[in-house]
Amino acid sequence: MPTTPEAARSHGQRGRLHPDKIESEILANERTFLAWVRTSIAVMSL
């Protein structure tokens, strides 16, 4: 448990992500999904 105000502030922000990191994670998830779709289409065409 944080005992100083500075530690309490940094402890509260530990789970928050920077907006740029959130955007890059969303884009990475979308690329992964599209890769799975592309792979499934290729498998169905065999």
Joined tokens for residue 27? 């884009």
Per the listing, tokens 């884009």 go with 27
User: Nearest Cα to 13, choosing from 26, 27, 2, 24?
Assistant: 2
What span, in angstroms and rounded, lies between the C-alpha atoms of 27 and 35? 12
Burial string for 15-34 (b: 16+ CB within 10 Å, else e) reads eeeeeeeeeeeeeeeeeeee
Please report the pLDDT score of residue 40 as a whole number: 98
Residue boundaries of the structural domains of the chain: 17-46
Q: How confident is the model at residue 12 (pLDDT cuts 50, 70, 90)?
A: low
Are 36 and 44 in contact by the 8 Å Cβ rule? The answer is no
Kindly tell me if the per-residue pLDDT of 44 is higher than 60: yes
